[in-house]
């Protein structure tokens, strides 16, 4: 079978045999990886130069994409050299069914008529609404509450705010909200969910292939047009012209338009003034930077999601949750990504990582403060906090008022630096590494019951990591 597939030059009707691809993946990646990540991939369909596969969550998709996709593509190319990319669907069950029906039709069309409209084709590829990004799992806080409320409002009451323009930094939840709106409205309305880049691409392609009429019909037929990342729209006059007319036509017929961008309308570059002013004509809402509370709530909710997904076989303790909520502030995407990394680590090594391990796992995402944390600075800060001198901390004296601060400093050195136990011991007047272990264990034990100690340690951590007193 395999030879048969490989040695024929007649590629037109050659079909990919997914079972064969799977056996190759097993050989290439080994049983363990295959069983954990690749086995459950469902093959949906092949197109001229790409294949469509499905997995059950975004997390798995991202994991496969970042680690194995290139090699899977190589395997596929052995069977069909035209394949240049792999597309994913995240499958909730209905979704698959719906798509395979569509694909059935598509296949039939392909047989009868090779000239399937690229618009339909790309509609299948790009108009995907991800069932995992909905309103229920969108966690709100001070910074995104308005955007959330406005999005819900347009999902209940179309064309109330028109257009709705959401803006905010990278990874702050804009696409998630657009997707949630689409998800809510898709059963009763014709939805078009597209990035501005895609819009331009299709525009240019439809001019080239003389399908402008279809293009116009296609867009002007929608009830809800969701355009993501409008800041990337920088097309020629003709395209902006077309966009402007589409926009006006849709608003006129009472269709809802929702736009996302990384900046407010008046800051958009290379976009005609009249379009910008149109964008400002409805409701403009921004998503601001997250605060600690929102980050922590997002992490908590993702941990719950993951627990459900992995049938409770996941423990990411509260200390780690707090740590990443404090540390990963740049975007929610990175925040969620860090959690996924930690979960993968703990699954692969079958253990909950320590804070020191977490620092290593997330090294590239953590800010530079890591490099500034030295045992010396920890000692200084802890001494100041407990009002003892450094000489006292480093002395062999075992008075109670010295022992606890000393143990705390040792514990923090273990948690916040990547120094080994003997190294830490040496920095505390050549104490033995067993003393270090004893100190760490004592504090860990006390933390289970001693609330005051917990508060002190959090405060100290913040002082050490950020030179600040107020968070947590």
**Residue 152 C-beta: closest distance to ligand ADP, Å:** 13
**Residue 283 C-beta: closest distance to ligand ADP, Å:** 18
Name the burial class of residue 153, with classes exposed (0-12), middle (13-18) and buried (19+) by CB atoms within 10 angstroms of its CB: middle
Asked if residue 171 binds ligand ADP (CB under 6 A), the reply is yes
Phi, psi of 355 (to 5 degrees): -60, -35
**Residue 64 C-beta: closest distance to ligand ADP, Å:** 16
Asked if residue 144 binds Mg ion (CB under 5 A), the reply is no
Residue showing the smallest CB distance to ligand ADP in the complex: 173
Give me the 88-127 binding string for ligand ADP, x by CB under 6 A, dash otherwise.
----------------------------------------
Q: Which lies closer to ligand ADP via its Cβ, residue 138 or residue 161?
A: 138
Stretch touching Mg ion by CB under 5 A, among 167-175, 208-216, 292-300, 454-462: 167-175
Q: Which lies closer to ligand ADP via its Cβ, residue 18 or residue 169?
A: 169
The item of ligand ADP, Mg ion, none sharing an interface with residue 321, based on CB under 5 to 8 Å by kind, is none
Which residue in the set 76, 124, 139, 409 belongs to the binding site for ligand ADP (CB under 6 A)?
139
| Cis? peptide before 163, omega within 30° of 0 | yes
Which residue in the set 99, 151, 155, 175 belongs to the binding site for ligand ADP (CB under 6 A)?
175
Q: Are 206 and 325 in contact (CB under 8 A)?
A: no
The item of ligand ADP, Mg ion, none sharing an interface with residue 133, based on CB under 5 to 8 Å by kind, is ligand ADP
Which residue in the set 21, 124, 172, 362 belongs to the binding site for ligand ADP (CB under 6 A)?
172
Phi, psi of 280 (to 5 degrees): -80, -5
Q: Which lies closer to ligand ADP via its Cβ, residue 109 or residue 134?
A: 134
Give me the 175-214 binding string for Mg ion, x by CB under 5 A, dash otherwise.
x---------------------------------------
Give me the 327-346 binding string for ligand ADP, x by CB under 6 A, dash otherwise.
-----xx--x----------
Q: Which lies closer to ligand ADP via its Cβ, residue 17 or residue 286?
A: 286
User: How many residues bind to ligand ADP according to rule CB under 6 A?
Assistant: 17
Give me the 288-317 binding string for ligand ADP, x by CB under 6 A, dash otherwise.
----------x-------------------
Sites of contact with Mg ion (CB under 5 A): 175
């Amino acid at each position: 079978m395999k030879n048969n597939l490989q040695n024929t030059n007649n590629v037109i009707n050659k079909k990919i045999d997914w079972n064969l691809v799977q056996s190759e993946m097993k050989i290439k990646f080994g049983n363990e990886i295959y069983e954990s990540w690749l086995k459950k991939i469902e093959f949906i369909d092949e197109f001229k130069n790409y294949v469509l596969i499905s997995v059950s969550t975004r997390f798995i998709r991202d994991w496969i994409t970042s680690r194995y996709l290139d090699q899977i593509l190589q395997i596929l190319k052995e069977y069909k050299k035209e394949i240049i990319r792999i597309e994913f669907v995240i499958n909730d069950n209905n979704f698959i069914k719906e798509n395979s029906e569509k694909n059935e039709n598509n296949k039939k069309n392909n047989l009868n008529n090779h000239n399937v409209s690229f618009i339909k084709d790309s509609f299948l590829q790009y108009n995907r609404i991800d069932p995992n990004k909905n309103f229920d799992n969108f966690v709100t806080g001070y910074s995104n509450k308005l955007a959330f409320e406005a999005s819900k409002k347009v999902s209940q009451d179309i064309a109330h705010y028109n257009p709705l323009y959401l803006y905010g930094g990278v990874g702050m939840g804009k696409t998630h909200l657009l997707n949630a709106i689409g998800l809510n409205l898709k059963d009763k309305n014709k939805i078009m969910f597209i990035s501005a880049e895609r819009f331009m691409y299709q525009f240019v392609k439809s001019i080239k292939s003389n399908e402008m009429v279809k293009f116009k019909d296609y867009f002007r037929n929608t009830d809800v047009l969701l355009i993501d990342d409008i800041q990337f729209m920088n097309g020629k006059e003709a395209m902006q012209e077309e966009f402007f007319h589409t926009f006006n036509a849709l608003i006129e017929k009472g269709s809802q338009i929702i736009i996302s961008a990384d900046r407010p309308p008046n800051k958009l570059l290379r976009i005609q003034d009249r379009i910008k002013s149109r964008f400002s004509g409805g409701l403009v809402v921004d998503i601001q930077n997250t605060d600690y509370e929102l980050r922590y709530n997002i992490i908590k909710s993702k941990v719950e999601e993951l627990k459900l997904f992995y049938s409770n076989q996941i423990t990411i303790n509260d200390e780690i949750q707090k740590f990443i909520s404090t540390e990963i502030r740049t975007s929610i995407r990175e925040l969620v990504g860090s959690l996924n990394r930690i979960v993968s680590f703990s699954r692969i090594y079958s253990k909950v990582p320590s804070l020191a391990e977490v620092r290593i796992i997330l090294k590239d995402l953590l800010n530079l403060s890591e490099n500034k944390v030295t045992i010396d600075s920890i000692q200084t800060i802890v001494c100041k906090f407990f009002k003892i001198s450094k000489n006292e901390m480093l002395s062999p004296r075992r008075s109670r008022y010295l022992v606890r601060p000393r143990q705390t400093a040792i514990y923090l050195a273990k948690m916040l630096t990547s120094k080994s136990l003997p190294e830490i011991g040496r920095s505390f007047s050549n104490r033995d590494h067993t003393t270090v272990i004893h100190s760490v264990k004592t504090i860990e034990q006390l933390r289970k019951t001693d609330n005051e100690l917990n508060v002190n340690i959090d405060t100290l951590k913040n002082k050490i990591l950020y030179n600040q007193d107020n968070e947590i």
